[in-house]
Amino acid sequence: MRVVALVPGGIGDQILFFPTLDDLKCLYPNAQIDVVTEPRSKAAYRVSKSVHEVLTFDFKDRNSLADWGNLVGTIRDREYDAAIAFGQSWLVGLMLWLTGIPTRIGFKGKGAAFLTNTVPFNPSQYVAAAYHDLLKPLGITTPCPELAVNVPKPDIDWSQNEQKRLGASETGYVLIYGGADQAARGKSTDKIYPVEKWRPIIQEFQVKQPDLPVVVIQGSDDEAFVRSLRESCPEIKVTSPDNIGKLTAMIAGANLMLTTESAPLQLSVAVQTYTISLIGSSDPEQLLPKSEKFLAIKSPTGKVADISPATISEKIWGG
């Protein structure tokens, strides 16, 4: 069986879709599963254990009819047996209908008339579980599995050397991600926790756990944030993984992860690192599975910056 999944969205969205892909591969081990995602999100599949090939298409761009036609041709040539559509879009539904794929699955809503099977989208449940419902038309009704990733060995080796460089291989470390995904940056700064509020949290760690290094993740868009943080907290250490496998391995090695709503949050869930997440306007029950390992602090105003450092410290130290 050949299956294609259309998964628009950021890297975090891809990680949340992994359980659906993994369950499909588990129950149909000989299936070839391909994914069509946005160019910015292709990197997520470095840590996927179930996907054969990743194709790219910028779903949110102002695509011409020729662009959509090229995508139709690419998919049609591969002669897929089934397609799974992640979003709700009449253009995507029409495109899948034009490909001639016999089984076309998606959520009820826009574009559903072009699909052969639809399932209702339940916005109140954990997002990964909502996506997993898309497997029901294929006869898969098992509970949604936990998020899981497959980190390449070279990335694990890099992480082990990086921990030695940071002086954290023996002591462990606290990992902080204080930025926001590229898409979130383009919309607003509501998901970014400001430097001046990170400062007392980091300083408290240095007083209470002086032998436990505080390591900050610096992504490609985080240079200004990290530079400002280092100016006020020169004792922090910085790691700059250059791919998602290395980032995942660093998160897996941490004693505790403090993060805003982001792709690193979902990676932390996938590797089962103890995590405290700072949530703005989103519903924590949609973003996180129920587990004592994953704690959410929701902003009283919908803006992450309005979470007080004292509230975060209380979660960390238990009052």
Q: Say yes or no to pLDDT of 319 above 80.
A: no
Which residues 6+ apart lie within 8 Å of 144 measured at CB?
Answer: 19, 20, 23, 126, 128, 129, 132
pLDDT-derived band of residue 179, with 50, 70 and 90 as boundaries? confident
| Distance, CA of 78 to CA of 93 (rounded, Å) | 18
pLDDT: is 109 or 180 the higher one?
Answer: 109
SS3 for the chain, per residue?
A: CEEEEECCCCHHHHHHHHHHHHHHHHHCCCCEEEEEECHHHHHHHHHCCCCCEEEECCCCCCCCHHHHHHHHHHHHHCCCCEEEECCCCHHHHHHHHHHCCCEEEEECCCCHHHCCEEECCCCCCCHHHHHHHHHHHHCCCCCCCCCCCCCCHHHHHHHHHHHHHCCCCCCCCEEEECCCCHHHHHHCCCCCCCHHHHHHHHHHHHHHCCCCCEEEECCCCCHHHHHHHHHHCCCCEEECCCCHHHHHHHHHCCCEEEEECCHHHHHHHHCCCCEEEEECCCCHHHHCCCCCCEEEEECCCCCHHHCCHHHHHHHHHCC
- Distance between start and end Cα atoms, the chain: 54
Q: How confident is the model at residue 229 (pLDDT cuts 50, 70, 90)?
A: very high
Give the tokens for residue 192: 């970014």
Q: Is the pLDDT of residue 185 over 70?
A: no
The CATH number assigned to the domain with range 153-317 reads 3.40.50.2000
Q: Would the pLDDT of 24 be above 50?
A: yes
Judged by average pLDDT, the poorest of 26-35, 105-114, 149-158 is 105-114
Would you place residue 184 in the very low, low, confident or very high pLDDT band (cuts 50, 70, 90)? very low
Q: Who has greater pLDDT, 137 or 184?
A: 137
Tell me, what's the pLDDT at 180?
A: 57
Q: Which of 261, 243, 237, 100 is nearest to 188 (CA)?
A: 261
Instruction: List, by residue range, all CATH 3.40.50.2000 domains of the chain.
Output: 2-138, 153-317
Kindly tell me if the per-residue pLDDT of 129 is higher than 70. Answer: yes
In the predicted structure, residue 1 carries a pLDDT above the cut 60: yes
- Left, alpha or beta for 294 (phi > 0: left; psi -120 to 50: alpha)? beta
- Considering only residues 90 and 17, tell me which one the structure prediction assigns the higher pLDDT: 17
Query: Which CATH superfamily groups domain 2-138?
Result: Glycogen Phosphorylase B; (3.40.50.2000)
Q: What are phi and psi of 161, to 5 degrees?
A: -70, -35
Per-residue pLDDT tens digits for 32-60: 999 999 999 999 999 999 999 999 999 98
Confidence band, pLDDT 50/70/90 cuts, at residue 183: very low
pLDDT at 237 over 70: yes
Tell me, what amino acid is at 123?
Answer: P
Beta pairing, strands 174-177 & 82-85: unpaired
